[in-house]
Amino acid sequence: MEKTDVKNLTLEGLEQYIAGIGKERFRAKQIFKWLYQMDATSFDEMTNVSKEFRAFLAEKAAISNLVPEVVEAAEDGTKKYLFRLADGNAVESVLIPDEGRNTLCISSQVGCAMGCAFCLTGTFGVTRNLTTAEIVNQVCAVKREEPVRNIVFMGMGEPLANLAAVIPAVKILTDPDGFQFSNRKVTVSTCGLVPEMAELGHACIVNLAVSLNATTDEIRSLIMPIDRRYPLKELLAACKAFPLPSRRWITVEYVMIRDLNDSLEDAKRLVKLISNFPSKVNLIPFNEHEGASFRTPSQESIDRFHKYLLDKHVTVITRSSRGGEISAACGQLKGRLDEKLKEQ
């Protein structure tokens, strides 16, 4: 009989599992804390649990773990971790350093099916969804080496295409008996899966980031196929309806591409599009990569776009590229995976 991986379970799920095998539900909280606050990788480490129960658990259940196969470091301190999964597939996570608030960018799928034209990850297609355990184990592995203050689901894959694993992972990350991250410190990104946005918002309290990247359906559908299924009108209505706690906003991600979406007219349209819901804008100059047909905008275009948003009282940040030389920048994950493995 296949063992149950306890890292696939939220605290509520673990309580139900423990009760189902005839044990006291309070044991679940003990185990949960060992997993995520003390990073236990075996039941034997759980010293406040009886030896008999530990042996019983070891027969029925398992604790999965991930260890990075490759770690690359960029000059700016960004680190990219390659994790080999049990079935031989691989995913990557990126740690972006910032004094006192390191951000870990984690993956939710092996590859991505969304096919956004500016994203290198999308050229690999999607192999499968990650399990909840595979998602949270990325966090466990990096936290052993570095402090992590923020989590962003912006790695490989479309998180909202894997809500069955992502929602439990968010609950584990934010559970006071789990990782103990504030829900203000966890962000889930989407390219615009409208029904799933509502499902996410009703299932848990989490920050939402939406990849907009264009101000007309004509352009957006060229670079983001999802726009043909959920055009801007539907996407923006979903943003307006998304349940936000007081004084919270939706992050609008906007990848700037030279001569495609970087004009002052685009900036003017963007201000109008996001005017009816609380938002802040992340401008992301396109990160060029081998084989890309797009180019990074000029600094003049970026500055002009940024200034227009500021002048219209839009909260805006132009994100500096981090980890580009190790293909860890936005849209570059898995870019040099094959090459690194061949070197080993």
Show pLDDT as tens, one digit a residue, over the chain (344 residues): 689 999 999 999 999 999 998 888 899 999 999 999 999 999 999 999 999 999 999 999 999 999 999 999 988 899 999 999 999 999 999 999 987 789 999 999 999 999 999 888 777 789 999 999 999 999 999 999 999 999 999 999 999 999 999 999 999 999 999 999 999 999 999 999 999 999 999 999 999 999 999 999 999 999 999 999 999 999 999 999 999 988 999 999 999 999 999 999 999 999 999 999 999 999 999 988 777 789 999 999 999 999 999 999 999 999 876 545 544 444 444 545 545 444 54
The answer to whether residues 190 and 209 touch, using CB atoms and an 8 Å cutoff, is yes
Amino acid code (one letter) for 228:
R
Question: Which one, of 253, 53, 58, lies nearest residue 154 by Cα?
Answer: 253
The sign of the dihedral angle between the CA atoms of 154, 157, 161, 167 is negative
- The domain limits of the chain are 4-62, 68-343
Q: What residues does 317 pair with on adjacent strands?
A: 282
Q: What residues does 300 pair with on adjacent strands?
A: none
pLDDT of residue 122: 72
pLDDT of residue 136: 98
The answer to whether residues 169 and 134 touch, using CB atoms and an 8 Å cutoff, is no
Domain 4-62 has CATH 1.10.150.530: yes
The answer to whether residues 270 and 276 touch, using CB atoms and an 8 Å cutoff, is no
In a 13 Å sphere around the CA of 66, the CA atoms on its Cβ side amount to: 33
What's domain 68-343's architecture? Answer: Alpha-Beta Barrel (3.20)
**Residues recognised as catalytic:** 92, 330
> Would the CATH topology of 4-62 be identical to that of 68-343?
no
The answer to whether residues 93 and 107 touch, using CB atoms and an 8 Å cutoff, is yes
Amino acid code (one letter) for 262:
D
Three-state secondary-structure class, residue 142: helix
pLDDT of residue 289: 75
Measuring CA to CA, how many Å separate 132 from each of 21, 225, 290, 298?
Answer: 22, 27, 32, 41
The answer to whether residues 294 and 258 touch, using CB atoms and an 8 Å cutoff, is yes
Paired tokens of 91? 């995913």
H helical segments located in the chain: 11-20, 26-36, 51-60, 132-143, 163-174, 194-203, 217-223, 232-241, 264-273, 299-311, 337-343
